[in-house]
Amino acid sequence: MTQAPTPELARQMANAIRILAVDAVEKAKSGHPGAPMGMADIAEVLWNRHLRHSPSNPHWLNRDRFVLSNGHGSMLIYALLHLTGYDLPMSELENFRKLHSKTAGHPEVGITPGVETTTGPLGQGISNAVGMALAEKLLAQEFNPNNGNDALNIIDHFTYAFLGDGCLMEGISHEACSLAGTLRLSKLIAFWDDNGISIDGHVEGWFTDDTPKRFESYGWNVIKHVDGHDSAAIDKAIQSARAQGMHADGKPTLICCKTVIGQGSPNKAGTHDVHGAALGAAEVAATREALGWHEAPFVIPAPIAQAWDARARGVNHEKEWQVRMSAYRSQFPDKAAELERRMKGELSSTYAAGLPAVFESVCAKADSIATRKASQNALDLLAPLLPEFFGGSADLTGSNLTNFKGCKIAKRDQWGNHMSYGVREFGMAAIMNGIVLHGGYMPYGGTFLTFSDYSRNAIRMSALMKQRVIHVMTHDSIGLGEDGPTHQSVEHVPSLRLIPGLDVWRPADGLETAVAWACGVERHDGPSLLALSRQNLPRLLDKADDAEKVRKGGYILSDMEGAKAVIIGTGSETMLAMQAQANLAAAGIPTRVVSMPCTNVFDRQTDAYQNMVLPLSLPTVAVEAAHPDFWRKYVGRTGMVIGIATFGESAPAPDLYKHFGITTDRIEAAVKSLVHRDSHKHALPFPDHVVPSTN
């Protein structure tokens, strides 16, 4: 803990945040001054007196993490980063919300040094913070000596989060915070900005929870009634919260801070007017007057700037840790190297060396298996090469098959590399984002594909943040059968393919599944999603070398001399494409089958490769037990798609495939129709005898 400034200096330091927020929002003519003004005093106490970070090295691995879950208050964190000495010059604050500035409307990781996660979708920041605190706890269990010699504890930092009423109203905060209580993430300290205001006004009409009781029931340590404008009270609360982090059985802490939104604005404080709009010139002037701030916009008086500058302190924090790390390295050289590798997100040489044998082993098995089982087989083989794996499932471990041989179950007081997240799909996805952002583990988590809708915004966030998370989504179509339309995905795979930066794999057999895993693991710039079948599928590839073809996302699986048409199959329908090819060949129509396990990866191949696999001159039919529209970009307006444009039904899977016309007969009829059209310049009527179809 750093020496407290005098009350007057503390007040001025907080006012520096207020004025920077007011001026930046005023200049941008948009933004949210209310939260930064209301939380400025809390921010001064936390950042100036407690936060252990190093502005000159934002990536120092044992730094405390800070998450602004109420990301609309972005000027709060930009002001803090600038003032404490991060590489965020004042010119960036002047360019708040401008194209290519480092000060986007909401904080974005990878754009602004010191921003740990992208926040803005309310409730997800606190959930990311839970993931970060979980990663810290797991790493401490795995790497600290835990032999009573605390001097060698190289992982021991806190995760702090600011959140508003909005985050607490969002359901995901329940999912994540409830789990944080169960897991006793005692180094997680959250500050509730209890200002009673959200966009529509005073929250009494829509938010009357007893938040302290709610968090107590989760098993949190709750510090109530803290005056969020009283530095001494805030300081005391933080000290008491930090004490929990030192306890063997400590709890996460919620500090409930009563604040006034827009504190400092004489006419707008305490109203929702100040939540998300510029104050206006007259009120800016009145605020300056009220705060006794006489500087021009974007000018900080030297004594206040000096008081805020945390660079020297940060270097000292880091040095002190380096001493520990050196002692640790000399005692545990392998573990030190392993930790550093994992924090960088690099793969080990063991992985590269072992991967060919994984593919060999997968190809050696001829039996038909579901791709969810093929995924588990791949995990069994990959996990020994990837100690950074941290798997889990939202209460469907036995269905998603995310656990692997020898995995250890992570629990409150037990390190593990597989976790039951409970029925919390959205929470799980956001927690995984926090884990990967923290570093040290490679998270993957499972649920049914249909419930990707629950987690979708967190999947989107992993893509936006370019983070390596692997989403394991089983029961990927009507092929799951009797559970019926509530559980059967129709539009999910096509719509997930549209999330920029997300690679959606829908593998067709064992090798394709193993390659999908490898590609997800090897990606450094984004998430992957594996859509896996419940039902058994035959082996299509039996040579490990074929892995290279699969890595292209789409490839020629089976070709015939003089092919007159292309059939694109994906996932469980690739085998239908293969059967149709054989039947068509018997009828004298040679075709090519293209397997397309990942359209996103295929789209990144060269034009030459794409045109080689899918020649523009050949009529093309695509088949997928999903909404058909997505395939238009590959088959064109003149091709045909065999898909399902309605919800499914409850029945055994084979009956459903027949009912919806996802059949070889229909593929064959489509190919014949197109081939006939090409030779006679008009198409045969497409036999549309099956229930729903867009063709």
Ligand X SMILES: Cc1ncc(C[n+]2csc(CCOP(=O)(O)OP(=O)(O)O)c2C)c(N)n1
Report the residue number, 88 or 197, with the smaller CB distance to ligand X.
197
Which residues in the 263-282 window bind ligand X by CB under 6 A?
A: 275
Residue 431 engages ligand X in binding (rule: CB under 6 A): no
The span from the CA of 24 to the CA of 101, in Å, is 13
Please identify, among the stretches 10-18, 96-104, 161-169, 436-444, the one whose residues bind ligand X according to the rule CB under 6 A: 161-169
CB contact at 8 A, 244 and 186: yes
Residue 195 engages ligand X in binding (rule: CB under 6 A): yes
Report the residue number, 96 or 631, with the smaller CB distance to ligand X.
96
β-bridge pairing 221-227 and 369-370? unpaired
CA dihedral 186, 53, 119, 74 (to 10 degrees): 130
Backbone angles phi, psi at 605, to 5 degrees: -75, 165
Q: Which of 74, 117, 198, 572 binds ligand X (CB under 6 A)?
A: 198
- The beta-strand segments (E) located in 510-623 are 528-532, 536-537, 555-558, 565-569, 591-595, 620-623
Please identify, among the stretches 49-57, 132-140, 196-204, 224-232, the one whose residues bind ligand X according to the rule CB under 6 A: 196-204
Report the residue number, 207 or 298, with the smaller CB distance to ligand X.
207
CA angle, 338 then 525 then 631, to 5°? 140
Please identify, among the stretches 41-49, 164-172, 424-432, 687-695, the one whose residues bind ligand X according to the rule CB under 6 A: 164-172
- Give the interface size with ligand X as a residue count (CB under 6 A): 19
CB under 8 Å to 534, separation ≥6 — which residues? 370, 372, 399, 474, 475, 476, 479, 480, 481, 653
Which residues in the 233-262 window bind ligand X by CB under 6 A?
A: 261
> DSSP state, 406?
T
Tally of CB atoms within 10 A around 249: 9
> DSSP state, 389?
E
Report the residue number, 275 or 552, with the smaller CB distance to ligand X.
275
The pair of structure tokens assigned to 420 is 């039951």
Binding mask 102-141 for ligand X (x = CB under 6 A): ------------------xxx-------------------
Which residues in the 28-87 window bind ligand X by CB under 6 A?
A: 34-35, 70, 72
Q: How far is the CB of 206 from ligand X (least distance, A)?
A: 11
Report the amino acid identity of residue 395. D
Q: How far is the CB of 277 from ligand X (least distance, A)?
A: 11
Residue 184 engages ligand X in binding (rule: CB under 6 A): no
Report the residue number, 122 or 626, with the smaller CB distance to ligand X.
122
Q: Which of 164, 252, 507, 597 binds ligand X (CB under 6 A)?
A: 164
CA 364 to chain centre: 35
Binding mask 482-501 for ligand X (x = CB under 6 A): --------------------
92 noted as active-site residue: no
Give start and end residues of each alpha helix (H) in 184-294.
211-218, 231-246, 281-291
Residue 165 engages ligand X in binding (rule: CB under 6 A): yes
Helix (H, G, I), strand (E, B) or coil at 648: coil
Report the residue number, 499 or 584, with the smaller CB distance to ligand X.
499
The span from the CA of 359 to the CA of 544, in Å, is 5
- The beta-strand segments (E) located in 129-210 are 159-164, 188-194, 197-198, 201-202
Element (H, E) at 226: strand 221-227
**Catalytic residue chosen out of the listed positions 425, 512, 573, 668:** 425
Binding mask 593-632 for ligand X (x = CB under 6 A): ----------------------------------------
Which residues in the 455-474 window bind ligand X by CB under 6 A?
A: none
Report the residue number, 197 or 640, with the smaller CB distance to ligand X.
197
Q: Which of 199, 323, 498, 691 binds ligand X (CB under 6 A)?
A: 199
Q: Annotated catalytic sites, by residue?
A: 425
Residues at the site binding ligand X, with contacts judged by CB under 6 A: 34-35, 70, 72, 120-122, 164-167, 170, 193, 195, 197-199, 261, 275
